[in-house]
Amino acid sequence: MNGNDGSKMKDSKWVRDFEKSNDKLVLRFLKANGVRYLFGFLFFAAVNLLQVVTPRLTGDIIDELYKQNPDLSLIAKFAIVIFALSIVIMGLQFLGRLTVLGAGTLFDVLMRRKLFRKLLTLSMNFFHKKSIGDIMALSVNDLNAVNRAIGHGAMMVSNTIILAVVSIVAMGETMSYKLTLMIFIPLPLLVFTMYKFGMVINRKFRKVQDRFGELSGKVQENIAGIRVVKSFVREESEQKSFEKVNRANYDAEVEMALVNGLFMPLISFISSFCYLILIYFGGRSVIVDQSISIGDFVAATSYITLLIRPMQMLGRLLGMVQRGKASMGRIYDLFEEKPDIVDHKFNQNDVDIKDNKLKGKIEFKKLNFAYNEKNGDVLKDINLVINPGETVAFMGTVGSGKSTVSNLLIRLFDTPERGQLLIDDMDIADIPLKTLRGNIGYIPQDNFLFSDTIRYNIGFSPDEMNDEQIEEAAKTSDIYDTIMDLPDQWETMLGEKGVNLSGGQKQRMCIARAVAKNAPIMIFDDCLSAVDMETESRILKSLKDVQSKRTCIIIAHRISTVKDSDKIVVLHKGRVAEVGTHEELLEKQGYYYKSYRIQLLEQQYGVGLKDAKGEKK
């Protein structure tokens, strides 16, 4: 309980094998944990064997009472044994649950780890098509279902089988097998009913789940589109269509209630026939041919109770296993996803990169790119050479393809044979991913930070980073003073659990993170938009040193951000519309010139970012 028990598990060999394999996981797990399950099985077998003793003893006591001179001390001994047995049973029961249910939990923890590890390898295309909700459902609901099947399910299987055998044998030994079999005549009917019912219940259950999914889907969509609904006064028809799916959900629930309501009472009803047979035929045996004693009769009533409980569980067990199987199927689906962006193995050896360091030359050769075909090409026929140490800015309207440039450079997407993107004269796809990304300091548009400490967020690197590097990066990004003003300084938690930084502070934090990486290529993906002009110029000034040594790609809207770049590229509808320095482009009187004038105008009329906030709602 104390410390990390879970971490101990992962050191054994089978766990490592398990982590590597992607198929027959349940089987592999059961095999590797065979001994464990065997022990669990033995524990439960012992529990069940002992459980049968109590009714037997009770019967013997009753028999003793019918004797001429009942021996009270013997009865006392029996009573003590009954109590002592329960303590032993408690111990065994505990061990059994711990081994078997623990196995389910272990499977759960291993699978979740695999799941997350898989997610880490998948490419952006996957995350665009799968919602976070779907992924979370896999990790929570589906894994839980599998866990239950493999833990509780296994426990119930062993309990049912053992108890059935033990109690039938015990009863057969005390009475006669003929009477025992007679009493258990209703059992096959019971099992059959349960099996059939189990299937129906599962079907109904799935229907309820589907309907519930539709219900929440409807609400989800309605709320997401509520502004349209309200604008078009469609509240009433939305209400009607919601009531329809709500009703369908209700109907499914009622159907479920019907079979559910029938299930348990039916089971007890069928099992009451066991008692009927026992009372009449058993009772007759006691008095007519006296083949069984009255104590046997009493013991038999307890045996029936003992046996019927696990039988009732069978139905639930079936559902559990089926649900577990369906969930496992969904998990396998995820495991079968192939990442789009991978290292091409055969090329890896051809590429010789010294110390995994790139120089930072970037070349676009007749590059075309589309995210998906129906929306057309986002980049069209891009030709551009960026030399090591150069700073190149990309400008353009929304949708002009600016951000695509950065997505391609960090290879979040591949450029399949429609022109080339070269880095250090190598095709980008031939550079090992680790090397490529290790050589790029990337600052994203959405200034994403993790809910962890500031130190963690800036020193965000697979290699250890020392404090000076982190501090240096913070200073360069003009965030050092802000950090120092926080009560916990470097240890300040960010995000949900800690302080919430302003947009500008977050952007500077992201810049620091990339700067700390000390990479030959820097990409600023529209990342200075939320800082005011003064801060921007301060940051740009301190970045100057950094920039002069590295290849810098700056994607921006603001003239002030890009004007000092060696080269400014204006993209328009995916094409390069203008290229040149600030002065050259102003002379051209094209798009760049217009932007320049608009931004001057904005300054003149005082519409800055401060005023824009109100409307950003």
Chain residues 120-149 in contact with other proteins, contact rule CB under 8 A: 120-122, 124, 127, 132-133, 135-136, 139-141, 144, 148
Smallest distance, Å, CB 133 to other proteins?
8
Shorter beta-carbon distance to other proteins: residue 12 or 268: 268
In one-letter notation, the amino acid at residue 170 is A
Q: Give all strands of the β-sheet with 362-369 in edge-to-edge order.
A: 379-386, 362-369, 420-423, 426-427
List the interface residues with other proteins, window 246-265 (CB under 8 A). 246-247, 249-250, 253-254, 256-258, 260-262, 264-265
How is residue 314 written in tokens? 């069978």
CB of 440 to other proteins, least distance (A): 7
From CA 166, how far away is CA 160, in angstroms rounded?
10
Rounded-to-integer distance, Cα 491 and Cα 453, Å: 5
Size of the site for other proteins (CB under 8 A): 163
Is residue 14 a contact residue for other proteins (CB under 8 A)?
A: no
Given the structure tokens 């490592």, which residue do they identify? 16
Distances (CA, A) of 430 to 255, 380, 423, 520: 59, 22, 10, 18
Mark the segment that binds other proteins (CB under 8 A) among 70-78, 385-393, 415-423, 500-508.
70-78
User: 206: part of which helix (H) or strand (E)?
Assistant: helix 186-224
Q: Are 303 and 132 in contact (CB under 8 A)?
A: no
CB 593 within 8 A of CB 585: yes
Q: Does position 202 bind other proteins by CB under 8 A?
A: no
Distance of closest approach, residue 330 Cβ to other proteins, in angstroms: 16
**What angle do the packed helices 72-121 and 154-174 form, to 10 degrees?**
160
Contacting other proteins (CB under 8 A), which of 12, 21, 22, 237? 237
| Residues within window 103-122 making contact with other proteins, judged by CB under 8 A | 105-106, 108-109, 112-113, 116-117, 119-122
- Binders of other proteins among 268-327, rule CB under 8 A? 268-269, 272-273, 275-277, 279-280, 283-284, 286-288, 294, 297-298, 301, 305
Residue choice 231, 349, 466, 500 for contact with other proteins (CB under 8 A): 231
Binding flag, residue 244, other proteins (CB under 8 A): no
Q: Binding segment for other proteins among 168-176, 326-334, 361-369, 440-448 (CB under 8 A)?
A: 440-448
Q: Is 93 in the site for other proteins (CB under 8 A)?
A: yes
Indicate whether 397 belongs to the interface with other proteins (CB under 8 A): yes
Confirm or reject binding of residue 338 to other proteins (CB under 8 A): no
Residue 497 DSSP class: G
> What span, in angstroms and rounded, lies between the C-alpha atoms of 129 and 394?
28
Which residues inside 482-511 make contact with other proteins, applying CB under 8 A?
A: 495-496
Contact call for residue 214 and other proteins (CB under 8 A): no
How crowded is residue 235: how many other Cβ atoms within 10 Å of its Cβ?
12
The answer to whether 1 contacts other proteins (rule: CB under 8 A) is: yes
Q: How far is the CB of 613 from other proteins (least distance, A)?
A: 8
Closer CB to other proteins, residue 395 or residue 567?
A: 395
Stretch that binds other proteins, among 76-84, 482-490, 499-507, 543-551 (CB under 8 A): 76-84
The nearer residue to other proteins, 244 or 544, going by C-beta atoms, is 244
Backbone CA torsion sign across 535, 483, 442, 436: positive
Select 129 or 481, whichever has its Cβ closest to other proteins.
129
Cα–Cα distance for residue pair 577/594, rounded to 1 Å: 13
Residue 185 engages other proteins in binding (rule: CB under 8 A): no
What secondary structure does DSSP assign to 298-358, as a single string? Answer: HHHHHHHHHHHHHHHHHHHHHHHHHHHHHHHHHHHHHHHPPPSS---HHHHTT---GGG--
* Pair 477, 509: CB distance under 8 Å: yes
65 part of the interface to other proteins, by CB under 8 A: yes
CA-angle at 415, arms to 118 and 390, nearest 5°:
105
Taking CB under 8 A as the rule, does residue 79 contact other proteins? yes
The letter for the amino acid at 263 is F
Instruction: Tell me, residue by residue from 466 to 485, as one string, x for binding to other proteins by CB under 8 A and - for no binding.
Output: --------------------
> Looking at beta carbons only, is 400 or 476 nearer to other proteins?
400
